Amino acid sequence: MSFQLFDLTQIFNKAMFRIPDFQRGYSWEERQLNDFWMDLTELSAGRNHYIGLLTVEKIDSDKIKDDTDRWMVDERKLNPYFIIDGQQRITTCILLIKALIDNVESLGEEDFDEIQKRYLWLTRKGDGNKLCIFGYERDNPSFEYWKSKILNIESSANEDLQTSYTRNLQFAYDYFVKKIVANPGAAKEVYAKLTTNLKFNFYEIDPSFDVCVAFETMNNRGKDLSKLELLKNRLIYLSSLIRHHCDTSNQDEVISESEERQLRIDINNVWKTIYEFLGKSPTLKLKDDDFLKDHWAMYFGFKKERAEEYAEFLLNEHFTAKRVASKSIKFKHIKEYIVSLQASVKIWYRLFSCDSANAVEKDILGNLNVLDYRYSVPLIMAAYSNSKSEPPLEILSALEKFLFLSFCIYGRRSDYKQTEFMQLAHELFVGEYENGHRCTCQNAKNQIIDKIDEKGAAKKFKIFIADLFNEKDGFFSWNGLKYFLFMYEKHLYNNSNEEFARLHWNGTMTREHILPQTPTDAYWQKQLENKNEIEIHILTHSIGNFLLLNRAKNSAQSAKKFEDKKSAEKLGYAVGTFSEIEVCKYADWNSKSILDRSIHLIRFLEKKWELSFGTDTDISEMLLLNMEGNATY
């Protein structure tokens, strides 16, 4: 075991480095890159900066399978190392070196060819192939991207896989390119500091240590390992133990060395798929631990009192060396689990991306995303798993109705029926109830419908809305407003003769007050004559006074008078969505207009969700307005 303080030039002297398959990919984002760049550029001349620990394991030459790595060790006499801790920092350094070489003409006395030979690649005589000095093991999901997209080494592999990790690699490279292009004159100084003034604690780990266990106990600077990343390492570690603990008296349980190796490859391939789908969309921010928690609830069965301890269960109770030794965890258990993870991440991505060729399914998933259906995700995953080929449209529709009525009409607590839904998810996933009876998608749909409490809907909604006006800003505070307005817009589109919808849901949708919250224009002052503060508050935040607009248009409309808000020449409502065009039929926007449109929207609510709120007078009272549009507080 050795410990020394080295700079980058010394670290890469006659050495090659591999990031092993149990390591996560590159996780640094802008915050960590900013810290790194500041540490480097603000370092005074002649001063050194301690950047952290670099823990490595010398690779036994007998274990080098890759012929390219074998050539560098045998022919070029490079010392091979696995990076156990510190890969984020070292990767960042190499990314910066590559960005410097690509974007400046000179880095001082050392020419680019020498720099490339030390840090980036060697060219093999005979075939002319470029071989990475620093990079990922071939089984690592980032191997091909690093080689072909970052180092620009031609590859025969027909693979352009992008994951959240490869996006981070590309972002970091582009980040450094921008910094270099902004100040090319500083490149030589940056390179000198990077290679000679940043100091690592170079620590070579004792070969008797189990590196998977060592890795799990270490934290990288900047970003802790996610639970999903820790789980991958744990499963790879357990895969190396199972063969030695299998029941040799039972031939069916004897695991060969090749089967052990294949399980390790399978684990890597599953995580490759997971991070492919988590990073598939550049706009969706999908969190790996959210996926792991949803899968845990479905696969093992959710218990409310342990909802935040799912990682404790997975890492400290279930997938442990102790359970392998006791034969509670066997080869087949890990295999079944990772197969489920691989299938489930595709479903999980489908739910949030609404990536489906089926128009009806895409529409319902879009509606559910607007509703924010977090705790029902395990149930939806189980429904897809259970239904196999066909999307479980009946369950999705039943869930949409349940979520809207429970949380947007009745004002239920956010955890209402959570435990029951989670338990149903597990039962549907395994295909049977605790009593042994079969559980199907039809059973699950019926249970969801049974949970919809439609008794006294009008009374509950009236109380709920009254509370919103008493305690907050009326319908502006209603958690169902965006979803409801979006559903109304879709209703208008479906009843039109137009081929394309005018409004597509995205995160920039905002609620426009037609009567502004700050009615400073003389037009609005006239409409509100003889209205007191409470009356103005009720009218301003009535349901009929809202439109769903994109943020830019909302900002542009702001406090304009009604005529200008409608004007086509001023890109107003007349050239907007179906809802906007419908509002243009009103000559003026006053208390009567707001009441009229409010009743109209409540009638739509009744029809779509099979509710009844009584007469127009009953509805106006529920809205705290009388039939003349005056407040009845």
DSSP letters, 95-144, are HHHHHHHHH-S--SSS-HHHHHHHHTEEEPTTT--EEESEEE-TTSTTHH
pLDDT at 556: 58
Q: What single letter denotes the amino acid at residue 71?
A: W
Q: How confident is the model at residue 221 (pLDDT cuts 50, 70, 90)?
A: very low
Q: 130-132 and 134-136 as β-strands: parallel, antiparallel, unpaired?
A: unpaired
Q: How far apart are CA 519 and CA 339, in angstroms?
A: 59
Q: What single letter denotes the amino acid at residue 371?
A: L
Per DSSP, the chain holds a count of helices (H) and strands (E) of: 29, 10
What letter would DSSP give residue 77? -
Q: How far apart are CA 347 and CA 351, in angstroms?
A: 6
How many residues are present in the chain? 633
Q: How confident is the model at residue 304 (pLDDT cuts 50, 70, 90)?
A: low
CB-based contact 153:130 (threshold 8 Å): yes
Q: Which long-range contacts (CB under 8 A, 24 or more apart) does 529-533 make?
A: 531/591
Q: How far apart are CA 397 and CA 136, in angstroms?
A: 45
Mean pLDDT in residue range 347-351: 92
**Higher-confidence residue: 3 or 570?**
570
Q: How confident is the model at residue 223 (pLDDT cuts 50, 70, 90)?
A: low
pLDDT at 146: 93
Q: Residue 11: CB partners within 8 Å, gap ≥ 6?
A: 54, 90, 200, 202
Full-model pTM: 0.73
pLDDT above 60 (res 216): no
Question: Cα 519 vs. chain centroid, distance in angstroms?
Answer: 40
pLDDT at 379: 94
Q: Report the chain's C-alpha Rg in angstroms.
A: 31
What H or E segment, with its residue span, contains residue 3? strand 2-6
Render pLDDT for 235-275 as a digit per residue (tens, 0 to 9).
Answer: 988 888 887 777 666 766 777 888 888 998 899 889 889 98
Using DSSP, state whether 491 is helix, strand or coil: helix
What H or E segment, with its residue span, contains residue 567? none
pLDDT above 80 (res 633): no
What letter would DSSP give residue 224? P
Q: How far apart are CA 187 and CA 192, in angstroms?
A: 9
Q: Which residue is listed with tokens 């249970």?
A: 447
Q: How far apart are CA 246 and CA 81, in angstroms?
A: 31
pLDDT above 50 (res 62): yes
Mean pLDDT in residue range 595-621: 92
pLDDT above 70 (res 371): yes
Q: How far apart are CA 123 and CA 127, in angstroms?
A: 9
> What average pLDDT does the chain have?
86
pLDDT above 70 (res 82): yes
pLDDT at 222: 47
Q: 49-58 and 79-85 as β-strands: parallel, antiparallel, unpaired?
A: antiparallel
> Which backbone phi and psi does 217 adopt, to 5 degrees?
-90, -5
How many CB atoms lie under 10 A from the CB of residue 208?
6
**Higher-confidence residue: 471 or 141?**
471
pLDDT at 625: 84
Q: How far apart are CA 412 and CA 29, in angstroms?
A: 38
Question: Cα 559 vs. chain centroid, distance in angstroms?
Answer: 36
Render pLDDT for 193-202 as a digit per residue (tens, 0 to 9).
Answer: 999 999 998 8
Render pLDDT for 417-452 as a digit per residue (tens, 0 to 9).
Answer: 888 898 999 999 999 887 788 898 999 999 999 888
Mean pLDDT in residue range 23-40: 91
Crossing angle of helices 591-609 and 481-494, rounded to 10°: 80
pLDDT at 244: 78
pLDDT at 1: 44
CB-based contact 512:577 (threshold 8 Å): no
Q: How far apart are CA 463 and CA 580, in angstroms?
A: 29
Q: How confident is the model at residue 453 (pLDDT cuts 50, 70, 90)?
A: confident
Q: Which residue is listed with tokens 């407003």?
A: 481
CB-based contact 299:427 (threshold 8 Å): no
pLDDT at 427: 93
Q: How far apart are CA 564 and CA 188, in angstroms?
A: 58
Render pLDDT for 102-140 as a digit per residue (tens, 0 to 9).
Answer: 999 888 878 899 999 999 999 988 788 899 999 998 877
Mean pLDDT in residue range 6-35: 91
Both tokens assigned to 632: 């009845």
Query: Cα dist. 413→2, 409, 451 in Å?
Result: 57, 12, 14
Angle at 383 between CA 378 and CA 389, to 5 degrees: 135
Single out the residue of 439, 373, 365 nearest to residue 408, CA to CA. 373
Q: How far apart are CA 60 and CA 80, in angstroms?
A: 8
pLDDT at 182: 94
Q: How confident is the model at residue 159 (pLDDT cuts 50, 70, 90)?
A: low
pLDDT above 70 (res 629): no
pLDDT at 219: 47
Using DSSP, state whether 16 is helix, strand or coil: strand
Using DSSP, state whether 498 is helix, strand or coil: coil
